[in-house]
Structure 1
Amino acid sequence: MKVSIIVSDLSSQGAGRWGGAVRPFLLAKALKKIDCEVEIVGFSRRDKEGLSSSPDVPIIAIPTHPSYPKFLASVPKLFGHITGDVIYAYKVKLPSLGIALLHKIKSGCPVIVDIDDWELSWNGGDEYQYKPSIFQLLKDILEPGGALQNTDHSIYLKWAEKLVAKADAVTIHTRFLQSRFGGIMVPNGKDTTLFDPGRYEPHQSRVNYGLEGYRILMFPGAPRPYKGVEDVLMALDLIDQSDLKLVIVGGSPYDNYDDILMEKWGRWIIKLPNFPAEKMPEIVAAAHVIVVPQRDHPATRAQFPLKLTDGMAMAKPVLASRVGDIPEILGDTGYLVEPNSPEQIADTLKLIFEDLDVANHRGLQARQRCVELYSIEAMANVLSNVMDQVM
């Protein structure tokens, strides 16, 4: 069986940002485990060149204009590269799910949609309405840079949500998304062979990346206000110990939020650049603690933070907030605090560093939990049933 995974944005600001570390590439790895042939096809909206294919998974990235109506010219080109027996649309967006369903009309191939975020949550959620005047509507359509030329405009996301029922199967990864869209729970699988703490020496990793001599809290991702990085930095203000550092790996590609954090809390922050997915285990090995301090927000309730399984797979103590599915994912193998609570973060960090041996033992338990429940193999077991269902 061949599966075509359709991704609406394969550029460096979309799914290409983390290479093989994000959801469509995890799905591809898991599908390969059950002997599916896999291709990833999609659009590259900002980069002249798309991602490089691997020997196992070809990647076809069609260069396109990021806005309507020019974007539409590239859609027929994408159709010509969809060759799967099953079409797997990543995200509830017209340039992925919409195209998959159009292809189904032509080919009869079943469509699965994978939902890893509630896209509308950043734009008012269920309260969002688009009710422009005639004059505003014309401006949004015709004026250069008009709002409706954005392929991810909220009204299009709302329309895309209505198409979910047309798919032959739905996969999700959190209870929040399941309650909203239904579907089958497919966890975010981690490659626990690559993310294996036995392959890396933490002290050497700290030396390699200029982190020697510090107690490292690590946030391997793109900071956003709702991700709670500010709460960790406020906790470091409260603790006020100069050898504690928050290492941010990758940073934000979206805006100047990194600069805002540096301006206020620069003495606590060490920034590392974005690294290829295969380098991330060595980076994570340098951490003493992985922090996932999500704030309570509709977007975070829908998410399964990949940072959790980064830390779990590498047997690191994980400090996270009680938001969404995080408590269920960690079980009793991590350290949980209430969201928006710098004081609790500060107290928990003190507890961790007072007896790091105990914290590291909990990290080993987290690794075992990750292998059993959140590995690529665990993901593949569920996807095998999904494929049986749609075929």
Structure 2
Amino acid sequence: MKKKITILSHNLSGNSFGRAYLLARVLMRRYDIEIVGTCFGNGVWPPCSNINGVTYKILEGCNYPKFFSSFNKLLKMITGDVIYAIKALPTSFGIGILKHISSRLPLVLDIDDWEVGFYLSKTKMKFIEKSLNFINPNGLPYCWLLEKMTGFADKITTVSPFLQNKFGGVIIPHGKDTETFDPKLYNSAEAKKKIAPDECKIIMYLGSPRPHKGLEDVIYALDILNRKDVIFVVIGSNPDKAYEKHLLTIGKERIRLFGMINFNDIPFYLSAADIVVIPQRALPETIGQVPAKLFDAMAMARPIISTRVSMIPQILDGGGCLFDPGDSNQLADLIEYLLSNPEKAQELGAIARERCIANYSWDRMEEDLAGIFDVL
């Protein structure tokens, strides 16, 4: 009989659910999986709305004091032999701790972001405001507290050396199904026709557009290049439509926003990209992050330009180009170089895919996760 793992997600409604979704997809190769959690929005985040063979047990999210009544309901939903809490937050790890104490079930914690770091770049007044937000179940006061309670976990997994040094544990990167993400399976010409005019060079960003992702730097770089045959395509959406409007305002005719797509469609869209950019800025919220979309681009053998932030340089290791975060001039030079040297761009993409298969495939993830869950 297979071991059953309960994956606890703090919020199934946002893009942060992507990590739980990925881990569920890999773990279900070896174990029975159920996903338990809250939705603080309009249902499950569409790109991850279902996994065949995995049960979703969902509770509507709410603020305190109403959320107190949700504790017992969530605890009763957990029927696994092992608990895997995603993020050190009250509505995932906090619930996991309560079940761990009451039922003595093994508890594993996954940390893919430094949650407190998201607040450190706020203005002083905004930080004070967030520090006094006691009605949000995952607000800063509780977030800070839960990061102090990671010792309750029997095992910890994480995504970067920064987070490993801070919290301990084993690094489990955002691996990729390299059999599905295989450029040979997709018609890049067909994908290009769907996205851009004929003969247009596509610089692509895949992911939720947010200020710390450095998308403005790409727009400024294209302004420097001033090439009419190059456009910036953003695949993904931000609930803050004001930020998307800001990008359209400064990008003008150089940018196209395609909105949210299903995870299954990602490789098709990526096949259209002449270059994939991952221009992370160096901020407290990015210092421990490893963008999951980096591995999407690597698996699809796309030429990649990214920043020297977190462990991105070590992951690429010769399979892409790097620039200093925020330096649009460097970025412009690299874009021009790769567009002018297609053979070199293709070579870098091939190296990236080889590295992804060797180090960041689902097979590799499964082996590393089995080393944790088989002994619990």
**Which TM-score applies when normalising by structure 1?**
0.90
Alignment of 1:25-104 (within 5 A): 25-33=21-29, 35-47=30-42, 52-65=49-62, 67-104=63-100
Of 196, 199, 204, the residue aligned with 2:190 is 204
Residue-by-residue CA offset, 1:307-358 (whole Å, 9 max, x unaligned): 2111101010000011110001111110111111100001111110111122
Residue matched to 2:7: 5
Question: Is 1:108 matched with 2:104?
Answer: yes
User: How far off is 1:252 after superposition?
Assistant: 1.4
Q: RMSD of the alignment, in Å?
A: 2.2
**Displacement of 1:370:** 0.4
Q: Which residue of 1 aligns with 2:214?
A: 228
Distance 1:14 1:151 in 2: 18
Tell whether the 8 Å contact from 1:26 to 1:376 is kept in structure 2 after alignment. Answer: no
Label 1:324 to 1:52 Cα distance change in 2 as closer, same or farther (>3 A): closer
Which blocks of at least 5 consecutive residues in structure 2 are unaligned?
Answer: none
| 1: CA distance, partners of 2:337 / 2:44 | 47
Distance of 2:193 and 2:246 partners within structure 1: 28
Per the alignment, do residues 254 and 129 of structure 1 end up closer, same or farther by CA in structure 2, a change over 3 Å counting? closer
**d(CA) in 1 for partners of 2:100, 2:151:** 14
Deviations 1:16-62 (A, max 9, x none): 5xxxxx211111122123x1111111011222577644322221221
Question: Does the CA contact (< 8 Å) of 2:157 and 2:169 recur in 1?
Answer: yes
**Aligned-partner residue type, residue 271 of structure 1:** L
Match of 1:144 in 2: none
Distance in 1, matches of 2:196 and 2:279, equals 24
Aligned to 1:121: 117
Distance 1:47 1:211 in 2: 35
Amino acid at match of 1:45: F
Contact 2:181–2:267 (CA under 8 A) maintained in structure 1: yes
Indicate conservation of the 8 Å contact 2:15/2:208, yes or no: no
Aligned mates of 1:124, 1:252 — CA distance in 2? 21
CA distance in 2, matches of 1:52, 1:224: 22
Q: Return the TM-score normalized by structure 2.
A: 0.93
Partner SS, residue 256 of structure 1 = helix
Sequence identity, in percent?
Answer: 35
Query: Does the residue aligned with 2:134 lie in a helix, a strand or coil?
Result: helix
Q: How far apart, in 2, do the equivalents of 1:98 and 1:129 lie?
A: 28
Partner of 1:254: 240
Q: 2 CA distance for matches of 1:111 and 1:77?
A: 19
Structure 1 residues 196 and 100: alpha-carbon distance in aligned structure 2, compared to 1, 3 A threshold: same
Number of matched pairs: 370
Tell me, yes or no, if the aligned pair for 2:205 and 2:233 is still in contact at 8 Å: yes
Shift of 1:131: 11
